[in-house]
Amino acid sequence: MNSDLLHGVPADTITRREVSYDHEGETLEVSMGPHHPSTHGVFRMDVKLEGERIVRLKPVLGYLHRNHEKLGEKSTYLGSIPYTDRLDYFCSMTNNWAYCIAVEQLAAFEVPERAQYLRVILAELTRLQNHASAVGFLVQDMGASGTPLMYAFRQREKILDLFEALSGSRMMCNYMRFGGCRVDLPAGWLDQLKVLMNGFPAFLDEFEKLLVSNEILMARTQGIGEVSAKIAINAGITGPMLRAAGVNYDLRKVDGYGIYPRFDFKVPLGEHGDVYDRYMVRVLEMRESVKILNQAIAQLPEGPILDPKAKLRGFRPKAGESYGRIEAPKGELGFYLISDGSPNPYRYRIRPPSFVNLTVLEDMCLGANIADAVIILGSVDIVLGEVDR
């Protein structure tokens, strides 16, 4: 072998550079994203590293920005409902509900009993499939490729089948209307739901057995990305992330919107506010959702599903404003509407939970390893359709 050749290239054509192994005090700036798979969409983190430790992290958003709020101002009140599906595309049912609550406050519609129950059933199903996949994705981010996520997705798909049978679409349900719901349950739907609910605790048992006391999972998540209760409240963190920090604030209990006060359920709380607690709160919330669902199925009354006063097309509320909020699976989802009496809202604002929850991302990641930043972001549970709007 010719010694003048280095990997088959003449040695003198390669410029040799001085190599320094003295990296003390030097920082490296890494752009994580926007196409990094762990960012769950198009999201970028501008990370400054010292070795593997993060010394600065700036989130860069807006890759999916389409000025949803301007679209809302240009469209009628009814016309905005399908657009709300596309905010948090995992949870279109709860997006619909939050928007409908804001409109109902603007016009004082009475939602019929049956529609109230249907809303609770669908919102809790949404929470189940969101939390199942959030936990699955989190484990995926830790490097357990595929299998745990597929356990979650197998169950999620059964719920999406129910959504499809009811609304015609798996994810873009466009189901709720101000003053009620769009269509009633198809034949056999409730029986299918009962079968699913009977099997769900077994799925949760299996899922928990696989993950909760898993040593690797505990080592990766405990004590990582901690947020104290005080900072969490001040920074407007909501949802499982807030409750993982030990703050008992669930809008289903606090506001008691819809008919939630009728149901018996608990609000799981964490203690440390780390990644493990966030993950555990989600697992426990799924158990509570199953409890709510079983009660709602048992109590579901017959009757109309839409307020006869509700005028969907050509709806013009009187001038005024309203802020309606619900406990969406990711946190507090609010809609702020200002009406000037015309068919379009004068101002249509969405308060997205995952956008505000990102406020403390840098605080959580400082001092952590770069591999931990991936799971810290995963534990926030963001959907970029909602962050960027």
Partner 1 sequence: MSAFPTESLLDELKSQLPGVQVELLRNEAPSAQHSWLVASKDAIVVASWLLEEAGFDYCSNVTGVDWPDYLEVVYHLYSVEKRLGPVVLRMRTEDRGEKVHLPSLAPLWRSAEFQEREVFDLFGIIFDGHWDLRRILMWDEFVGHPMRRDYVEPDDYEYEPTAHDEIAEKARKHAASAGGAE
Please state, in angstroms and rounded to a whole number, the distance separating the CA atoms of residues 87 and 384. Answer: 8
Distance CA 13, CA 50 (A): 34
Cα distance from N-terminal residue to C-terminal residue, the chain: 61
Give the residue with the Cβ less far from partner 1, 110 or 208. 110
Radius of gyration of the chain measured on its C-alpha atoms: 24
Nearer to partner 1, 96 or 357 (CB): 357
CB of 107 to partner 1, least distance (A): 7
The DSSP-derived string for 261-311 is GGS-------SS-SHHHHHHHHHHHHHHHHHHHHHHHHH---S-SB-TT--
Task: Give the count of beta carbons closer than 10 Å to the beta carbon of residue 129.
Answer: 26
Smallest separation (angstroms) from partner 1 to the CB of 357: 10
Asked if 315 is part of the footprint of partner 1 (rule: CB under 8 A), the reply reads no
Which CB sits closer to partner 1, 75 or 359?
359
Closest to partner 1 by CB, 268 vs 353, is 353
Nearer CB in complex with partner 1: 32/358: 358
User: Which one among 235, 259, 297, 312 touches partner 1, defined by CB under 8 A?
Assistant: 235
The one among 26, 27, 28, 67 contacting partner 1 by CB under 8 A: 67
Q: Are 185 and 193 in contact (CB under 8 A)?
A: no
- Which range of residues in 84-92, 247-255, 287-295, 306-314 is near partner 1 by CB under 8 A? 247-255
Cβ–Cβ < 8 Å for 124, 289: yes
For residues 370 and 377, give the distance between their C-alpha atoms in angstroms, rounded to a whole number.
11
Binding to partner 1 by residue 388, rule CB under 8 A? Answer: yes
Site mask, partner 1, residues 95-134, x = CB under 8 A?
----------xxxx--------------------------
Phi then psi for 30, rounded to 5 degrees? -120, 135
Query: Which residues are registered as beta bridge partners of 128?
Result: none
Measured distance CA(31)–CA(333) in Å, rounded: 30
**Least separation in angstroms between CB 58 and partner 1:** 9
Single residue of 322, 344, 369, 371 touching partner 1 by CB under 8 A: 322
CB of 294 to partner 1, least distance (A): 26
**Residues 24-63 within binding reach of partner 1 (CB under 8 A):** 61-62
Minimum CB–partner distance for residue 347 and partner 1 (Å):
5
- When asked if residue 269 is in the footprint of partner 1 (CB under 8 A), the reply is no
Q: Which span (145-153, 232-240, 271-279, 287-295) binds partner 1, by CB under 8 A?
A: 232-240
| Minimum CB–partner distance for residue 17 and partner 1 (Å) | 33
Would you count residue 351 as binding partner 1 (CB under 8 A)?
yes
44, β-bridge pairs: 60
Q: How far is the CB of 247 from partner 1 (least distance, A)?
A: 6
Give the whole-angstrom CA distance, residue 310 versus residue 305.
Answer: 11
What is the token pair recorded at 157? 């798909």
Work out the widest C-alpha separation in the chain, in whole angstroms.
90
State yes or no: residue 79 binds partner 1 (CB under 8 A): no
Interactions with partner 1, residue window 182-211 (CB under 8 A): none
Cα 22 from Cα 323, distance rounded (Å):
57
152 membership: H or E segment, kind and range: helix 147-167
- Report the interface residues with partner 1, using CB under 8 A: 61-62, 65, 67, 69-70, 105-108, 231, 233-237, 247, 249, 254-257, 317-325, 332, 334, 336, 338-339, 346-347, 349, 351, 355-356, 358-360, 388-389
